[in-house]
Amino acid sequence: MGTKWRTVDIVVVAVLAVAFGVLFWGMAGLWEIAGNAFTFFPPGATVIYGAWLLPAVLAALIIRKPGAAVLVEFLAALVSAFLGNKWGMTVLLQGFLEGLGAELVFAAFLYRSYRPPVALLAAVGAGLAATVFDIVVWYPKMAFGSYQLPYVAIGTLSSLIVAGLGGYYLTRALAATGVLDRFPSGKDRELV
């Protein structure tokens, strides 16, 4: 696998970023619903957090180029900000950090392994980056044991399941259809 970006790689980045940016924008309502459903235990709302982290893992698994996770997650955050999300421009830094959390894991494996354990670790990296960002920016005065720690744990577990497992199996399903044949992920028969 080369590190040179092709036009098709850039097009996929754009498509993923726009699709997930719109999804992020729409998920603000889902976040409110989850918050209302977990009034008895507010950190429980992070059970849906993994959906925000899926593009970082998915992009890296599909494109397999350095920077794919950061780029897609950041651009998706940018799209959601332009659409008018409730968190404003803070999502730009958060999107960058989430993508970086996943990216660092793929980099640690020298961009050579895209198997389930690496996808799961990347999702954990993204989940930790996202939830720690929230604790620092939005919830710094909340109690550590009863709020912050469960918030990070549940959000990271959600990322592990939705972004890690979900990203891996979504890539696998797409590869099986042939739509990824122009990518290393489409040629990786261990995926399908």
Please report the sign of the dihedral spanned by the C-alpha atoms of residue 8, residue 105, residue 71, residue 134. Answer: positive
User: What beta strand segments (E) does the chain contain?
Assistant: none
The answer to whether residue 110 is domain-embedded is: yes
- Mean pLDDT in residue range 61-87: 96
Least confident of 27-31, 83-87, 109-113, 186-190: 186-190
> What pLDDT score does 2 carry?
74
Global pTM value: 0.93
The answer to whether residue 192 is domain-embedded is: no
Give me the percent of the chain exceeding a pLDDT of 90. Answer: 86
> What pLDDT score does 192 carry?
44
The answer to whether residue 26 is domain-embedded is: yes
Is-contact 72 16, C-beta < 8 A? yes
- Mean pLDDT in residue range 34-53: 94
Look at residues 88, 75, 53, 79 and name the one whose alpha carbon lies nearest to residue 167: 53
Quote the tokens at residue 37. Answer: 């459903």
The answer to whether residue 1 is domain-embedded is: no
Residues near 104 by Cβ (< 8 Å), separated by ≥ 6? Answer: 125
CATH value at residue 51? 1.10.1760
Q: How many domains does the chain have?
A: 1
Hunting for tokens 């972004």 — which residue is that? Answer: 163
Residue 46: half-sphere exposure toward Cβ, Cα within 13 Å? 25
Is a pLDDT exceeding 80 seen at residue 92? yes
Convert the pLDDT of each residue in 169-178 to its tens digit.
999 999 999 9
Is a pLDDT exceeding 90 seen at residue 98? yes
Note down the domain range covering 125: 7-187
Is a pLDDT exceeding 90 seen at residue 97? yes
- Mean pLDDT in residue range 32-52: 93
Please report the sign of the dihedral spanned by the C-alpha atoms of residue 3, residue 98, residue 158, residue 22. Answer: negative
Q: How confident is the model at residue 132 (pLDDT cuts 50, 70, 90)?
A: very high
Is a pLDDT exceeding 70 seen at residue 191? no
The answer to whether residue 2 is domain-embedded is: no
The Cβ of residue 14 has, within 10 Å, a number of other Cβ atoms equal to 14
The answer to whether residue 102 is domain-embedded is: yes
Residue 49 and residue 132: Cα distance in Å, rounded?
12
